[in-house]
Structure 1
Amino acid sequence: MRPVDFASSDEFVSLYREHHGWLVQMLRRRLSGNIDNAADLAHDTFERVMRSESRAALAEPRGFLTTIAKRLLIDQSRRRAIEQAYLETLALRSEATEPSPETHALVLEALNAVCRMLEQLPPRVRRVFVLAQVQGHPYLEIARQLDISVAAVQRDMVKAWQHCYAVLYA
């Protein structure tokens, strides 16, 4: 199914006008009053609606917008957690090994790219990949933990590596 062509339609304009203010306020409450971050997330939410293959935005607009916005909040939280872990690791290092501001910016950019790439994977494939590649668990342990077969773990890893390759070399 192709993405719905909202960009040239009155439907999208109407959806935006009717629900943008509400969405910003809902996000602002969830973000402890941070209006700038709420506005950015609302923008990203409507951008995802434009690229969506679903017409649910028209049938149940607030539910659809809420679901997308919550997912974006989770994605943002994951990225911040990774960035915080990186900053904490840097803080533990001596100043002699402290990276330059340029290196620091490049590492954060690379970490964000990895996060975006992982967010595109189906949830189970992402979980398998993180367990194997980040946490170093063997396939048998992952299979037991997720209650799936080792063959399923292997298939998920193949999907994850194919996705990584496609993102890097597309």
Structure 2
Amino acid sequence: MPPSNPALTARLSDAYQHHQPWLQGWFRRRLGDAAQAEDLSQDAFIRLLRAPRLPVAEEVRALLTTIAKGLLIDHYRHDALEKAYLAELAQQPEALSPSPEQRAEALQYLIAIDRLLDGLSLKARTAFLLSRIDKLTHAEIAAQLQVSASRVRQYLAQALLQLYQLDDAFGTPT
């Protein structure tokens, strides 16, 4: 939502004009892809627009740098996730290969799950992964994390609640 305050609008416009070329170049040097750099620089300014307050002019570049680093980390994580997913798909027989639309949807869902897991505490994330991937019992997870079994149940409940909300957002069954 664009700001309704003319002074704020002018400050945002000024920040964009002064810092967008620099930020786009910053991304281009790191990614080697002008189109991707342009997309990420736009994403950075959208996040700046959504910030609780617009920093003073002297702080804009520092905040944009912080935002850009986070976007770059997300970009690399998503890229690695996509490569792993595509490598796994390449191992499947051609007859079982999903359509391009199904692949894109699955990739979006995997990225959302990655964000969900990243948002959990380390112990909650570890408990969830040990439960779902390694099929450990609550007692085994508790021993490994050095917490009580009831705490493991709380961690799993946190993760599952987030996962159910994610499923609702994607319209997929759990």
Q: Relative CO higher for 1 or 2, CA cutoff 8 Å, sep ≥ 6?
A: 1
Q: 1:128 to 1:59 in 2, by over 3 A?
A: farther
Q: Is the 8 A contact 1:125 1:157 kept in 2?
A: no
Local SS of the residue matching 2:3: coil
- Who is 1:61 aligned against? 60
1:159-170 aligned at under 5 Å gives the runs: 159-169=158-168
Local SS of the residue matching 1:77: helix
Q: TM-score, normalised by structure 2?
A: 0.71
Q: TM-score, normalised by structure 1?
A: 0.73
Q: Is the 8 A contact 2:28 2:34 kept in 1?
A: yes
Inter-partner Cα distance in structure 1 for 2:25 and 2:73: 18
Greater shift, 54-63 or 92-101, is seen at 54-63
**Letter matched to residue 140 of structure 1:** A
- Who is 2:15 aligned against? 15
Inter-partner Cα distance in structure 2 for 1:107 and 1:97: 14
- Who is 1:136 aligned against? 134
Offset from partner CA, 1:74-125 (integer Å, 9 cap, x none): 1111111111111111111222322233432332232233344445x25637
Instruction: Quote how far apart the aligned CAs of 1:60 are.
Output: 1.8
**Letter matched to residue 14 of structure 2:** S
Inter-partner Cα distance in structure 2 for 1:156 and 1:86: 27
Local SS of the residue matching 2:52: coil
**Letter matched to residue 122 of structure 2:** R
Aligned length: 160
Greater shift, 126-135 or 88-97, is seen at 126-135
Gaps of 5+ in 1: none
Instruction: Quote how far apart the aligned CAs of 1:135 are.
Output: 4.3
Inter-partner Cα distance in structure 1 for 2:64 and 2:128: 28
Larger Rg: 2
Q: CA RMSD in A?
A: 3.1
Inter-partner Cα distance in structure 2 for 1:45 and 1:88: 30
Inter-partner Cα distance in structure 2 for 1:19 and 1:72: 16
Whether 2:27 is the aligned partner of 1:31: answer no
Gaps of 5+ in 2: 170-174
**Letter matched to residue 43 of structure 1:** Q
Whether 2:66 is the aligned partner of 1:70: answer no
**Letter matched to residue 109 of structure 1:** Q
Q: Is the 8 A contact 1:6 1:12 kept in 2?
A: no
Inter-partner Cα distance in structure 2 for 1:54 and 1:131: 37
Local SS of the residue matching 1:60: helix
Instruction: Quote how far apart the aligned CAs of 1:69 are.
Output: 0.8
